[in-house]
Structure 1
Amino acid sequence: MYTQCPECLSVFSVDARTLAQAHGFVMCGHCGTGFDSIATLADQLPPEPFHELPVNEPGVEPPRLELAVFRPKAKTEPEPAETPPMRDDFADLVVTPRFARNPHRERPRRWPWIVACAVLLLGLAAQMGWALRDSLIADPTVGPWLRQACAVLQCRVPMVRDVGKLHLLARDVQTHPSVPGALLISATLRNDATFTQPWPMVILRLTDGNGKVIAMRRLNPFEYLDDVEALHRGLAPGATTALVFEVEDPGHQAVAFDMEFE
């Protein structure tokens, strides 16, 4: 989901957790303005170029929710238990002579229950491992063990995305040497994580002398990477790669640019 700052018109990507922390009130990371992110909340961005996201007008009546996914059962009062009739505790007592008892009586088998509990514990551990797979793969201690085990079992460890471990070493922008009215932007990227990451989504912003965004482009990996095998292989740990982008020249007002990864 996306929202827009009403002051600097910067567009940000938000998730449900971010919206829930302050009931939709957020701070702009560019100009520091506090604003209601729900006012311009949108599932998808309109076609470029655009300046402002449409404002969500509040409805007269709140929306009614019909599709329930869970409803707790109503608590019921327990019925009073009937008082059993009085009886003699020793009326049904049967006394067996000591010599008539069987000393070799078969004891109940417990190993089926032990096996069943062990299987259930293994299943629970597997479910927890799958739910926490991203954290385990990114962990510097557990991650190498998982990759070694997967190499022995001939499986593939899912790639984990951590854009905080992507380091931009260099960047440059110049006029395109062969295409008129276009810019050629180049960047050198390094993966400082200890695990393979998928290629990131790249956000390019061109700004004027006052820092105002006059052009923005969001590029998916398949838009700037032609090598299909490298796209599926991901960015290896410690690997350095060069990225090249061809964008339309917005004019002489663009004096600076910045790059962000998602």
Structure 2
Amino acid sequence: MNYRTTCPQCASVFRLGADQFEAAQGWVQCSVCGAAFDARPSLLMEDGSPLPLVAEPEPIDVLPSPEIAPPAELEATEPEPSTTEETPEAVLDAEDAAVTDMPRGIAQREVSLDLPSIILIDPDIPVPDDPGPLPQFYPAPAYPRAPDAPVYPFTPIAPAAPSPPTARIEYAAPLRDAARIPSAPRRVNPWVWSVASVLLLLVLLAQTAYFLRDTLVSRLPQTRPAFEQACAVLGCTLSLPKNLALLQIVGSDLQTETSGRLNLVLTLGNRANHAQAWPMLVLTLTDQRNRPLARRSFAPSEYLGDTQRIAAGMPPRSEQALSLPLTVRDLAPMGFDLQLTY
């Protein structure tokens, strides 16, 4: 036989075996929330029906005592005269047989009960007022107190909290088809969420500033001193600003020399109020119909050749004259196109 019970903490429904329930004396532990509880108040049958009621003993019907017929009915039929005369002993035997034929319950009730433990008291007997000599109590002998015995102050001991009965706790598994009511989630104070949100926002801003430091310095040059101090602490590098909108090609010319050599002469202008990184030059040679014949990009190390000048960048509000020698084979360019890029 199996039973079912409900956890009072999380309202989970479990199945219990009859042997488990009797061994644990009704105490079980929920396998969902871990609460120990008495399963007897919420105990039901396995199908959810209430426990069957214990049948009460049926009352025993008392047989009515047989009524003695009146003398008139007894005299309705006269017995035949017997030739023998009945003796007193025969009359007693007949009465004993009649008593034996009576119902057993009636015979037991007519017999006097022997109650040796009941003491009968006559209410008419006067009770004496003198109870007799009273007991005498003598004081206990006083023992001498030890002089060196330490005296400790009395410290009341707090009563221990009642503990559940020490019985074996059975871990019951929840029923498959039983609906489980989820417990109410604990609410967190609003200020905890506020502090956590601010900390997460600060961490996000710090990561963005670290990985996009070059872009931020290019767009916000006034923040460069702060980023330089931060990089000195963190051990990172900070590149020069790169803003093509503030760079300008003031003039350019492609000069033809002997034996297929060309010389590109140009002037770069920095219109920013701060130094900027040197750009890359993208040169495209075209024919007389302005169709591209060749294209190549030149890094700052190819048209400058000075590492200190490259690291310092283009000075603010300045124009720089540059010269780039070229070697062309099997080409007869008639024009060119020059672009700046990073």
TM-score, L = length of structure 1: 0.48
Q: Which has the larger radius of gyration?
A: 2
TM-score, L = length of structure 2: 0.38
